[in-house]
Amino acid sequence: MNNGIVSTIAFKCKICYSCIRECPAKAIRVLKGQAVIETDRCISCGHCVKVCSQNAKQIQSNIDEILYELIPKNNVVAIVAPSIAAAFPELSSKIPTALRKIGFNKVCETAFGADLINPVYEKLFEESKGKTIISSPCPAVYSYIQKYFGELTENLAPIVSPMIAMGKYLKLNSEKEIQVVFIGPCAAKKMEFQDEEVRGAIDAVITFVELKEIFERLKINFDKLEESELDPPFAYEGKSYPLAGGLLKTAAISSDVLNKNVIIVEGKNKVEEIINEILNKKINAKFIDILFCEGCISGPAVGSELNYYSKREKVINYINDKIHLVDKNVWKSNIYNSRDIDLSRKFPIKNQRKKMPSEIQIREILNRTNKLTKQDELNCGACGYFTCREYAIAIAKNIAEEEMCLPFLIEKLQLALEELKETQEQLDNAEKLASIGQLAAGVAHEINNPLGTIMLYSSMLKKESQKTGRNNLADFDMIIEEANRCKNIVSNLLNFARQGRLKISRVNIIDLISNIVRSCSINPSFNEVKIEIFDELVDEKIEADYDQLKQVFLNLINNAREACEESVQKNITIKIHSNEKNIIVDVTDTGCGIPEENMKKIFTPFFTTKKFGKGTGLGLAIIYGIIKMHKGDIKIESKINMGTMITITLPKIINQNTIMSIKENEYVS
């Protein structure tokens, strides 16, 4: 049973998804941004370990078990894979000495197990009757077939691997009970030796990477070690197993390029391809030798910095150096005497396929990630899946997340950034409004008293002048007029400062705006202005402060009229419509428009472009404050000499608890 042979180191995982792209079994589930390996689905091929640049994938370590449980028993035999020459290119002749030094009683070569199973393969090849046979020494390959292509388990050669064969041989030919530890470059071997079909042949598995760590931990000094040979039995051509086509060579099966009955496959992509070809009956070859890696010399835990060709050369040199030491007669005798060892095994189906989602589910997921048409499916592979469709299927199978799609995430981030900028602007405005509101309240209070005195005495002096017949009445009128103007400014300041609480009631927005337009129509200043209302609502009311909304739309209509003063066409259009949650009012004029450089200043208190004496610059600031108090939004679009459209969005229902808790002079954005 696979008990987490390969796992993720969470704090190192950087959400790059390269492991997902490389996982043939799609056994990696993204959970809250972390690439988590699903143990039952994993085939322990170790490709995710090889491709992870952050070293966030790890292979289960059995170092402590070897050092503190097995070796102290003083009956442990190490069997070493031939790819030892690629892992320790300059030290392979000293490795047997080092292993004995750390406590192994004997050090044998796993390759003799390959020699044991080769006659079985040769016989199987000869007796096959048109059936395609798939080699079974690679545990990642047969596990992949067992879990995801159960139909092909009957095509797997029912033969144990060299590791299992060697373990069985040693235990049957030992005078006392022994423990056998396999040392090699493969993570999947840690899964294989625990398989129910072969359990007991091997007691532990460590990788070359773990072996290097043991040497470092025990401070093994190779400079002081002598060279030594492995213990018998010695392997012959079985040493070539870690190389692509090595099985065919030792089993005397022709691998000639013109032999269409035999195919050699190595590497993840080719393995996936050939398995699908066999499944779809597009391959008629009698025998297919498959390795998930490019030969065992490229295993995920070989621990070598050499490239493929250098590792291959080291192993070939090692084979050529050692093969002449084999006494062919002794070797043949050992093989013959082992003829009764049971080297067969079965491969039961261990189906891990997830149910395929429906086309409707796939389409819904694609739509949610803004892939509405075929052209929207970029198939960029950033999520780790080769196509957007594969990615949607993975989401439906609950092994992927929508946030894995980079284009979709970028779009979301762009929208979030725009919203953040808008919120920041609103916060800045709210902060200005709050501070200016407090200032305005104080200033208005202080000005009101002397202003009242000025107006009172100006009126008294004007009456005296009328009695005496003086000709300076126009001067007094000017004083009173300007004092009234100051009074209006102070009134606006107080209105601005008092925006703290709303008196919520059910408001018919159509009636409110219609009443304002009616009152404007009898105002002489609106004589040349045409106002139209387009009502698209169906008897909808909102929760709002009637008086404050009246102030909002009255100010907007007055501003629109003033903007149209110099225009040939003086039209104001008010469109009232809604969506599921909001009432939307568009107030559009055909006026002079707002220069682009002023767009960011229009809600700033006391900013105005009107002529002197025409405005205080508080109108839009007050409107902004009122709309924000209603949890609404205000947007302005404008073009010079073409007009302006102000869009007010108001929620149909306001959380009154939130509104009533707002203190005076606080503004919520």
- Flag whether pLDDT at 367 surpasses 50: yes
* Least confident among 73-77, 280-284, 589-593, 664-668: 664-668
Per-residue model confidence (pLDDT) at position 1: 36
* Least confident among 189-193, 344-348, 431-435, 446-450: 431-435
CATH 3.30.70.20 for the 1-60 domain, yes or no: yes
- Flag whether pLDDT at 22 surpasses 70: yes
Neighbours of 144 (CB within 10 A): 23
Give the integer Cα–Cα distance in Å for 642 and 592.
Answer: 6
Per-residue model confidence (pLDDT) at position 615: 58
- Between 463 and 200, the more confident residue is 200
| Residue boundaries of the structural domains of the chain | 1-60, 61-337, 354-404, 406-498, 499-669
**C-alpha to C-alpha distances, 247 to 309, 446, 515, 538, nearest whole angstrom:** 19, 100, 94, 80
Mean pLDDT of 440-448: 70
- Flag whether pLDDT at 669 surpasses 50: no
Q: pLDDT-based confidence at 497, cuts 50/70/90? A: low
Hey, which bits of 472-570 come out as E strands? 505-507, 530-535, 542-544
- Flag whether pLDDT at 668 surpasses 50: no
Beta bridge partners of 481: none
- Between 611 and 585, the more confident residue is 585
Per-residue model confidence (pLDDT) at position 368: 87
**C-alpha to C-alpha distances, 250 to 29, 469, 583, 648, nearest whole angstrom:** 40, 134, 81, 83
Over pLDDT 70: what percentage of the chain? 88
Per residue in 482-494, pLDDT tens? 777 777 666 666 6
Q: pLDDT-based confidence at 125, cuts 50/70/90? A: confident
Phi and psi dihedrals of 194, rounded to 5? -90, -5
* Least confident among 85-99, 258-272, 516-530, 567-581: 258-272
Instruction: Provide CATH code, domain 499-669.
Output: 3.30.565.10
- Omega cis (within 30) before 233: yes
Q: pLDDT-based confidence at 617, cuts 50/70/90? A: low
Per-residue model confidence (pLDDT) at position 662: 35
Q: pLDDT-based confidence at 533, cuts 50/70/90? A: very high
Per residue in 204-249, pLDDT tens? 999 999 999 999 999 999 999 999 999 999 998 888 888 877 787 7
User: For 594-661, where are the alpha helices, taking DSSP H only?
Assistant: 619-629, 656-660
Q: Which of 14-18, 95-99, 457-461, 627-631 has the highest mean pLDDT?
A: 95-99
Q: pLDDT-based confidence at 155, cuts 50/70/90? A: very high
CATH 1.10.287 for the 406-498 domain, yes or no: yes
Give the β-pairing of 6-8 and 28-31: unpaired
Q: pLDDT-based confidence at 369, cuts 50/70/90? A: confident
Per-residue model confidence (pLDDT) at position 667: 31
Give the integer Cα–Cα distance in Å for 394 and 70.
Answer: 42
Contact 274, 264 (CB under 8 A): no
Contact 155, 347 (CB under 8 A): no
Per residue in 335-353, pLDDT tens? 999 999 999 999 999 999 8
